[in-house]
Amino acid sequence: MSTNPILKISKVSRTFGAIQALKEANFEINEGEIMGLVGENGAGKSTLVKIISGFDPGFKGSYQINGKEVKFETPSQAEESGIAIAQQELSLIPNMSVAENIFLTGAKVKKFATLNTLAKMARPYLDEVGLTEVDPTTRINLLSVGEQHLVEVARLISREAKILILDEPTAALGEAESRRILEMVERLAANGKSIIYVSHRLDEIFKITKRITILRDGVSQGIQETKDIDVNKLVEIMLGRELANMFPSKADHISDDPKLEVKELWPDGVLEPVSFSAFKGEILGLSGQLGSGAGEVLASIAGALQSRSGSLTLNGETFLPKSPSHAIKKKIAYCSSDRKKDGLFLGRPIFENLTSPALGAISKYGFNFGSSEDNYSKNLAKEFLIDVKRMHDESGLLSGGNQQKVALGKWLSIKPDVLLVNEPTRGVDVGAKSEIYQRMRELAARGITIIFASTDIQEITYLPDRVITFYRGMMIDEHRLEKIKTPLILKEITDPFNETNL
Amino acid sequence: MSAIIENNQLPFSAKFLQFYKDRTLLAILLSLFAVMFIYGIFFTENYLTITNFKAIIRDAALYGIMAIGLTFVTLSGNFFLLSLKETASICGVTFAMGMATGFGSPDLAGNFLVSLLAALAVGVVSGVIQGYFVGMGGNPIVVTLGGAGILYGIGAWWSDNLVINFTRPHDAEWLGTGSFLGLPSITWSFILIAIAAEIVLRHTNFGRKVYLVGANKAAGKATGHENFSMAIIVFTICSVCCAFVAVAFVAQMDSAQSNYFSAEFGSSGDMTILVIATVMVGGNSIMGGYGSTLRTSLGAIFIAMVDNMMVLQGFNSGPRIVGVGLMIVFSIIVFGLFAKGSRAQE
């Protein structure tokens, strides 16, 4: 088994400013092997993938292909050496045919080629990825997302890629389509291609890989033989236990007094209506992967996403928010997952961001001459440990962590009863993460009901008092306090129905 | 003296430089003012006279008022109202109709208040309708270009493309040609509207919302400030400003025609281009969220100075319109370059 690896990376380090994304990480893959690459968000997976595929030449360490040291300056150089990557966001052109997309770069194609010629050339590649029934002259946007992924891979194979990197190929796919991808991966490996399979879905990792490389905080945790390891062990290696310290302790007990009752809420992206309650002063976590519906439920409580049916009961009133401003009037605050898109006014000063949801509170008869706004925004800033001296700076100049604090802190201005947070710490450094968790706990202790959705398994395990799990648009289960266990939750958000027979 | 020095620890020159550093855009505009002014003093006859400066501000007032209205649209991220001159045109026709015929009832003929209110009402209606469609998600360029065609067409149809005259003396003379304390009424209007607009933008919740929605529509929606109502309000403000300018201009000319604000008519060229140039030269961000009506007012005076200089140098309308066009291009390039350095883009 231990032949010479076709690709070997040893002691690779990469720093971005003060952040060390990779610390002497090692990686290798043999010919015809499927190597799993796992790690939580921010563990350095994407950095490693970028280095392998030539997108990121600025690393230190050794990178060998077939035992020869290489140095790729651009992705196309990596491609010439047979390394190709299928990104999560596909790079297909929707209005062009399958065949045209496969030969998009024009290499190996005659100067004048009709669609028919291209279609004939594309056939064998499509067969190889399992798209035997797809006509190569079909337009790309008529295929399903899963089929588009397969076309993307066919394109990579057509350029004689020997090592394929698949970055979360099934993240946006349903069960049947995911199965096609997995079948393709196995077929390709049988044909002698090496495949680096990056995924959050541990069931898939266990199903198809022979070996697994685990990254944690930029350090590779050794290569594990898949058959020697189980989910619990894998998660333990992925997370490391000591990081649990950055989370504040949980509430002593959960009050039984429901603050917000959600009845039969049914937004797009969720398969069946969802009902649950949130109690006063608790932190409730909605756990699920991308596309599981957890984020959609949160957005529809906030009125940011329309719900087909259902109602909320808060403070004795029953209503269904039609818009964010409606929800804000009812004291429901919602911090979205993408602060640059709809969380912050990046070009405006910090103090304007902080007071933006509560202009009525800082003005008299609609007029605002600054003094009360000054105090108001400074108090908010102090509460969230934002530098008061920088209040007049544009919020776009802040670091990710500080931006997140502003995006969250601005909602305190409306004195919310319910605070909804989607991905509270996406793109936030560890220090700010800890501060944000601390603040969320303090706010809950003050009586605010906090509901957050997260794909970060650590956060979901250690921050909330209760967890509700979601899987592909369905609500699966609910856990309380000490019954919140990482392996159980992981299982419920990746494979609740034992479809993979782990 | 010592107290002053204590309070202002920096020497004046350093403070001056710091002021310039903080406000690159304003600084460029002021410097250009200065250059133009000095050039005018030494190389242009009749430049440094009170009469000439009154003329400059008077010219600036007409498109300055419209540009202040347009600034609200641009700051709120709704790009431009492209039916500026057509809105002015139909409002001017409405006002003249009121003054000349009283809209069919001879009792009302020549009644200034009724004519004024009718003209403003037309402005409000056209602003609300165009704002509604933009607020619903329509592209501002397409909506207001369509609006332009419809408004101009209705005005021309209604007036049969004829010049509508009403004879002096009439009740609107004070606005058209009258003056107060040595300044024309239209200049006073410009000054008052500029001050009011600046107060609204700086010190009211509505003004803050204009900036916030302009800076990020999605974040505005998430914090409860929808662009729907914003678009209706800013387009209405802009259209009413157009209506007011039209009334003042028609009152001055004692007549109206549907093509009064087009390139082939006035000495100042095409009104829409002039007004957009004013907003751009003032250094307001086309994408919204950054700028002020003060900048627009300065932009109006700047353009009026350039135009005035070209008139005194003996250029006719062709080259002067080219000059305005060049100023738009120039301002986009210069402010685009400097905006990159001074503002976080992403």
Break chain A into its structural domains and give their ranges: 7-242, 245-331+416-494, 344-414
Per-residue pLDDT band for B6 (boundaries 50, 70, 90) equals: very low
**Fold match flag (A7-242 vs A245-331+416-494):** yes
Facing residue for B224 by CB, picked from A324, A347, A370: A324
CB-based contact (8 Å) between B341 and chain A? no
At the second CATH level, the architecture of A7-242 is: 3-Layer(aba) Sandwich (3.40)
Q: Among A199-213, A352-366, B288-302, which stretch is predicted with the lowest mean pLDDT?
A: A199-213
Give A164-188 pLDDT, tens digit per residue. 998 888 776 766 777 888 888 898 8
Between CA B328 and CA A500 the distance in angstroms is 64
CATH of the domain at B265: 1.10.3470
The pTM for the full model equals: 0.77
Segment among A382-396, B124-138, B191-205, B282-296 with least mean pLDDT: A382-396
Domain range enclosing B91: 26-339
Measured in angstroms, the CA of A325 and the nearest CA of chain B are apart by 4
- Are A342 and A334 within 8 A, CB to CB? no
Question: What CATH number is given for A245-331+416-494 in this structure?
Answer: 3.40.50.300
Are A292 and A470 in contact by the 8 Å Cβ rule? The answer is yes
Residue A489 near residue A288, CB atoms below 8 Å: no
- Test the A interface: residue of B198, B223, B340 with most A CBs within 10 Å: B223
Does residue B4 lie in a domain region?
A: no
Residues 6+ apart with CB under 8 A from A279: A254, A255, A256, A257, A258, A259, A449, A466
Of B204, B219, B345, the CB nearest to A344: B219
Task: Identify whether the C-beta of residue A472 lies closer than 8 Å to the C-beta of residue A487.
Answer: no
In a domain, B20, yes or no: no
Using the beta-carbon criterion (under 8 Å), do B221 and A356 form an inter-chain contact?
A: no
More confident residue, A427 or A311: A311
- Tell me the C-alpha distance between A301 and A330, whole Å: 11
Inter-chain CB proximity B215 and A347 less than 8 Å: yes
Higher pLDDT, B267 or A412: A412
Q: Count of CB atoms within 10 A of residue B133's CB?
A: 19
Residue A178 · residue A172 · CB < 8 Å: no
Residue A452: band (very low, low, confident or very high) from pLDDT cuts 50, 70, 90: very high
Q: pLDDT tens across B219-274, in order?
A: 999 999 999 999 999 999 999 999 999 999 999 888 888 888 876 555 556 888 88
B173 touches chain A (CB under 8 A): no
Candidates A341, A348, A357; nearest CB to B218: A341
User: Does a structural domain hold residue B95?
Assistant: yes
* Entry field: residues in chain B: 346
Q: Which of A324, A346, A348 lies at the smallest CB-CB distance from B211? A: A348
Residue B104: CB atoms within 10 Å: 8
State the nearest Cα–Cα gap between A409 and chain B, in angstroms.
13
Measured CA angle at B314 (ends B308, B317), to 5 deg: 70
- Is B6 part of a structural domain of the chain? no
| Residue B45 contacts A where some CB pair is shorter than 8 Å | no
Point out the residue among B219, B343, B345 whose CB comes nearest to the CB of A345: B219
Helices A400-409 and A430-445 pack at an angle, to 10 degrees, of: 20
Q: How many Å separate Cα A101 from the centre of its chain?
A: 27
Query: What pLDDT shows up at residue B18?
Result: 59
Are A342 and B215 an interchain contact pair (Cβ–Cβ within 8 Å)? Answer: no
CA distance A280 to A447: 6
What is the per-residue pLDDT for B346?
Answer: 30
Instruction: Check CB contact under 8 Å for B346 and A340.
Output: yes
Q: Which pLDDT band, with edges at 50, 70 and 90, does A278 fall under?
A: very high
CA–CA separation, A248 vs A250, rounded Å?
A: 6
Residue B265 lies in a domain: yes
Coil, helix or strand at residue A261: strand
Sign for the CA dihedral angle at B65, B239, B137, B205 comes to: positive
Whole-number pLDDT of residue A47: 84
**Quick count: other Cβ atoms within 10 Å of Cβ A371?**
9
A343 contacts B219? CB cut-off 8 A: yes
CB of B212 less than 8 A from some CB of A: yes
Degrees to nearest 5, angle at CA B158 with B152 and B163 = 85
pLDDT value, residue A502: 44
Strand duo A283-287 + A466-471: pairing = parallel
pLDDT at B161: 87
Across chain B, mean pLDDT equals 85
> Which tokens hold the place of B10?
């920096």
Mutation choice for B interface testing from A298, A345, A369, A376 by most B CBs within 10 A: A345
Buried b (16+ CB within 10 A) or exposed e, B74-88: bbbbbbbbbbbbbbb
Domain count, chain B: 1
* Inter-chain residue contact B212 with A324, CB threshold 8 Å: no
Which is higher by pLDDT, B183 or B241? B241
Q: CA-CA distance, B44 to B297, in Å (whole number)?
A: 24
CB contacts of A345 in chain B (<8 Å) are 211-212, 215-216, 219-220, 289
From chain A, pick out residues whose CB is under 8 angstroms from the CB of B219: 341-345, 356
Distance between CA atoms of residues B20 and B149, nearest Å: 43
Among A217-226, B4-13, B221-230, the minimum mean pLDDT is found in B4-13
Q: Pairing mode, if any, of strands A211-216 and A474-480?
A: unpaired
CB hemisphere CA count around B171 (13 angstroms): 14
Q: Which residue has the higher pLDDT, A446 or A483?
A: A446
